[in-house]
Chains A and B, each alone.
Chain A
Amino acid sequence: MRTLIRVAAATAAAGLALTPGVALAAPSPSPGATTVTKAGTSFLTATSITAGQPVRVGASTGDHLYWSFRAEAGQVHEVGVTVAFGKPRTGPSTWTVDVFDGLRRRQACTAGAQTPTVDAAATGVTLGCTLRRVRPWAEPWSGDPLPGTYYVRLSVTELPEPDLGLPIEVDLLAGATDSGGASGDDGELAAPLVPNTRAGTVLTAEPTPEPAAEEETDLTGWLPEAGSRWVWTGVGGVLAAVAGVVGFALTRRPRRR
C-alpha cells in the first residue's frame, strides 16, 4: 500500500511539473534575430516576419502597414506593437491592430489592447493582441485558428484629418508560445492556410473529369495516428500491469519466518 501511495504522489508531482504554463510572458526578441525595417501596404505585399524577429519601421500616420508570419498547430501567438509620435497631435487618435488568417478572416484577440485611444498630448501608444491557440484541424465552416499564414495590420482608425501624413516610428514584435501536443485536438489540415498568390486564369470550359484516385487499402489505415496518445496509453498499460502485480502481492499471506 505504501508503494501505491508513493507512485501516486510521484505521478501527481510529475503532472504538476509537466502542465504547460497558463500565463504568457510578453514577447521578447530572440537573440541574434535581424531587425526587419520594412512593412507591406496590402495583403499581397505584407512583409514576412518570424516570431521573435523585431520590426522597426518609419511610416506616416494613416498608413496601413501589413506583416505576415507562419503559425503551427499548438502555438499561441502574441503580437506587441509600439507606435511613437514625434510631435504632439491636434486631437485624440484611435489605433487598431487587426490579425487575419490566411483566408483574410478576422481573428479574435483573447487579450491585449487591440484598439487603444490616446489623447492629443500622448507621445506614443502601445497595442497588443494575443491570439487563440492554433488548432491542428477544424471544420471548414468554422472560423477557428488553423496552421498557415497570419496577417497583422496596423492602422489608425479615427483621428483628426490634419494629423494624417505626420511621421511615426513603429516597433512590432510577434512571439509564439508552443504548448506541444497538449491541446487535446486530433486531426490534421491537408494543406495549411497559405494563400495562393499566383495570378489567376479564367477557364473557358468546365475541366474534364479526372480519373478518381484508387482508394488505398493500407493495413495501417485502421491504426490511430502516431502521436502522444500512444505514449500515454502505453505508459498507462505498464502502470496497470505493475499495479496488478502489486495488488496480487498484497493478497499473499506474509511469509512466516
Chain B
Amino acid sequence: MIFHCGSHYTRPVINKRRSTAVLWGLLAAIALIGPSPAGADDETTEPAAEPPKVELVLDVSGSMRARDIDGRSRISVAQQAFNEVVDGLPDETQLGIRVLGATYRGKDKKQGCRDTQQIVPVGPVDRTQAKAAVAGLRPTGFTPVGLALRSAAQDLGTGSTARRIVLITDGEDTCAPPDPCEVARELAAQGTRLVVDTLGLAPDEKVRRQLLCIAGATGGTYTAAQSADELTGRIKQLVDRARDTYTVTPAVVGGAAACADAPLLAPGVYTDREAFSEHRWYRVPVRAGQELRASVSIGLDRPVNPDYGVLLRATAPDGRELVRGVDAGSGRTDVVSAGLRWSAAEEEDAAGPTPTPSATAAARTVCLVVSNSFAARAGTRAEPGMPVELTVDVVAASPAPDGPDLGRGWALLLLLTLAGLVTGLVAGLLTRWWVATWREN
C-alpha cells in the first residue's frame, strides 16, 4: 500500500504537464489557422471593419448671403459651424464635404443646376485642408439639391455600414426635376442604408416641407437652425450619431407573394419593401424544441392617412394560422411594429408520426406574412414600397412549468402550524386515553 502511494501521487502531475503541453499546442494551432468558425457568437461583438462615413452637403447658393442669423450672414454661420465640427471630429469617422451652387455665376439654369462639387473627399480628415476649403466658399449660384444628394450617395459608396448625409440648406431646390424628395426615396430604396439628416437655416414654409420630406423618406431628422450655436451643436450630434449607431447593414431580402416560393431565412435582421395593401411572405425553419421569434417594423416614409396598422402572422405551410402579432396607431410616427413568439405545442409533437424513437429532429417550416393597413393620401406615390425591417430569431423553447410541488406564503405556514397543532393534540389525547385504558386493564 505504501509503495503504491508514491506512484499514485505522481500521476496527476504528469497528466497536468501533458495537458498543459496539449493546450499550448492547441493555442499555437488556433493562432496559425485563425479564429475558429465555431465562435459565431463573437461576430455580434466584433466591431465592423468599416469606419462610419458621413458627408456634409452645404448649400452655397446666392441666398446664403442673407444676414439674418444673429446679424451674420448664413454662409459665415455655416462656415464657423463646419470649422468647429472639423476640430471636434472623432479620429475614426470619415468625413466628406460637398457643396452645391458654389461656382457658377451665370444665369443659365441648365448649367447652374449641374453645379455641385466635392471639396473634401470622404476619408480620414486633414483638418487644415478641410478648413481652408470651407473658408474659401462664396455664395454664388443655383440650388441643385437633388443632384447633390445623388452625388453624395455616390461619394459615400456602398458597404456594410450605414451612411449618413447631413444636408444644410436655406433655400428650396431651384432645379427640379429631379425632385430632391424623390431622389432621397430612390436612394433609400437602393439597398444601402442611407440616412439623410436635414438642417434648415432660417427656413421658410416651402424649405421646411421639402426638408421634412427628404428626412422622412430616409429615416433621418429635420432641424430648423435659428442660431450659430444650434447649428454647430446639431451637426456635431449628427456626426457623432454616425459613429454611435448600429453599424451592420441588415440583409436585403425580397418577400414572395405566397409561402411556397418565399425566401428561407436564417436568424438575423432583414430589410425589404412593401407597398400599400401588399402581403410579403417569408419562411423560417424551426425544429422541435425551438421557439421562433419574429418582429417587424414598417417605416412611414411618405405621407399616409393618420390611422394605420401592421400585422405579422405565422402560419403553417398549409395556411393554418399559428400566432399573430398586431399593432395599430394614429398620428405622426416613424415606424409601426409588431412581434410574435411561437413554439410547437408539446401535444402536437407527441401526436406526430415517430417511426424511430432516436430519429433526427427535422425542421418544420413556418411561414411569416407581413401585411399593412396604411392608406395613401391623394398624390402619395405607391412605388417603391415602404421600408420593412424584419428580425428573425430561433432560440430554445421554454416549456410550460409544471404545477408547483411546493408552497409559498403566510397562509401555508399558518395551515401547516395548525395541522401540526391539531395532530399533536389528537396524538396527545389518544395517548392519554390509551394509557388510561391500559392502566385500568
A binding-site residues for B, Cβ under 8 Å: 4, 7-8, 11-12, 15, 38, 40-45, 47, 58, 60, 62-64, 94, 96, 100-101, 103-106, 137, 139-141, 155-159, 161-162, 164-167, 184, 186-191, 193, 195-207, 209-214, 224-225, 228-230, 232-233, 235-237, 239-253
**Contact yes or no, B333 A64, CB < 8 A:** yes
A205 neighbours in B (Cβ, 8 Å): 264
Task: List, in ascending order, chain A residues with CB within 8 A of B297's CB.
Answer: 43, 104
Please give the distance in Å from B198's CB to the nearest CB on chain A: 9
Q: Are A45 and B246 in contact (CB under 8 A)?
A: yes
With A42-B335, A209-B361, A252-B428 in contact, is A239–B392 under 8 Å at CB?
A: no
CB distance from B72 to the nearest CB of A (A): 19
B88 within 8 A of A: no
A-B contacts besides A203-B285, A204-B264, 8 pairs, CB < 8 Å: A104-B296, A166-B224, A190-B291, A193-B293, A242-B417, A243-B420, A249-B424, A251-B424
Q: Are the C-beta atoms of A196 and B362 separated by less than 8 Å?
A: no
A190 pairs with B395, CB closer than 8 A: yes
User: Is B389 at the interface (CB under 8 A from chain A)?
Assistant: yes
Contact, CB under 8 Å: A196 / B391 = yes
Give the CA-CA distance A69 to B360 in the complex, in Å.
Answer: 39
| Closest CB in chain A relative to B336 CB, distance in Å | 10
* Closest Cβ–Cβ distance, residue A235 to chain B (whole Å): 6
CB–CB A38/B420 < 8 A: no
Is B392 a contact of A211 with CB atoms below 8 Å?
no
B308 within 8 Å of A (CB atoms): no
Q: In whole angstroms, what is the CA distance A212 to B289 when docked?
A: 10
Q: Report yes or no: B222 in contact with A165, Cβ–Cβ below 8 A.
A: yes
> A140 near B266 (CB under 8 angstroms)?
no
The listed residue (A15, A44, A100, A236) touching B246 by CB distance below 8 A is A44
Is the pair A201, B268 in contact by a Cβ cutoff of 8 Å?
yes
Q: Which residue of A lies closest to B334 (CB)?
A: A64
Q: Let me know if B395 and A44 touch, CB within 8 A.
A: no
The answer to whether residues A184 and B408 also contact, given A166-B224, A250-B428 and a CB cut-off of 8 A, is yes
Contact in complex: B327, A212 (CB < 8 Å): no
Residues of B within 8 A of A200 (CB): 250-251, 253, 265-270, 390, 392
Given contacts A63-B221, A210-B360, contact A251 B416 (CB under 8 A): no
Of B2-10, B19-27, B165-173, B230-238, the segment with at least 4 beta carbons within 8 Å of chain A is B230-238
Are B338 and A104 neighbours in the complex by a CB distance under 8 Å?
A: yes
* Chain A minimum-CB-distance residue to B203: A165
A67 CB to closest chain B CB (Å) equals 12
Provide the bound-state CA to CA distance between A106 and B362, in Å.
33
Query: Do A244 and B335 touch across chains, with their CB atoms under 8 A apart?
Result: no
**Chain A contacts of B241 at CB under 8 A?**
38, 41, 45
Among A164, A193, A228, chain B packs the most CB atoms within 10 A around the CB of A164
Which residues 379-430 of B have a CB within 8 angstroms of A? Answer: 389-393, 395-398, 400-402, 404-410, 412-429
Any chain A CB within 8 A of the CB of B98? no
CB-based contact B266/A186 at 8 Å: no
For residue B44, which residue of chain A has the nearest CB?
A198
Q: How far is the CA of A233 from the CA of B237 in the complex (A)?
A: 57
Q: For A12, A104, A245, which residue has the most chain B Cβ atoms within 10 angstroms? A: A104
B418: contacting residue among A193, A204, A206, A243, CB under 8 A: A243
**Is residue B108 contacting chain A, with contact meaning CB distance below 8 A?**
no
* Chain A residue at smallest Cβ distance from B43: A198
Q: A119–B155 Cα gap in the complex (Å)?
A: 45
**Which residues from B are CB-within-8-Å of A199?**
160, 248-251, 268-269
Contact residues of B between 306 and 350, Cβ < 8 Å to A: 323, 325, 327, 330-335, 337-343
Q: Is the CB of A232 within 8 A of B408?
A: yes
The 10 closest A-B pairs by CB, nearest first: A247-B424, A200-B268, A251-B428, A103-B339, A240-B420, A187-B401, A165-B224, A243-B420, A157-B331, A209-B360
Question: In the assembly, what is the distance between CA of A57 and CA of B39, in Å?
Answer: 37
- A157–B330 Cα distance when bound, in Å, is 8
22 A-B residue contacts at CB 8 Å? A41-B241, A62-B222, A104-B295, A104-B297, A105-B338, A137-B401, A140-B340, A140-B397, A158-B332, A186-B401, A190-B397, A197-B246, A200-B251, A200-B253, A200-B268, A209-B362, A212-B288, A236-B413, A240-B420, A247-B427, A251-B428, A251-B432
Considering the complex, give the chain A residue whose CB is closest to the CB of B424: A247
Cβ contact within 8 Å between B265 and A202: yes
Q: A44: which B residues are within 8 A, CB to CB?
A: 245-246, 250, 269, 389
Q: For B424, list chain A residues within 8 Å (CB).
A: 243-251
Please, what's the 1-or-0 string for B343-375, where 1 marks a CB less than 8 Å from any CB in chain A? 100000000000000111111010000000000
State how many angstroms separate the Cβ of B90 from the closest Cβ of chain A: 13
List the B side residues contacting A41 at CB < 8 Å: 195, 219-221, 241, 245, 334
Task: Check if B84 is an interface residue, CB within 8 A of chain A.
Answer: no
Pick from A140, A157, A190: contact of B396, CB below 8 A: A190
Distance (Å) between the CB of A169 and the closest chain B CB?
A: 11
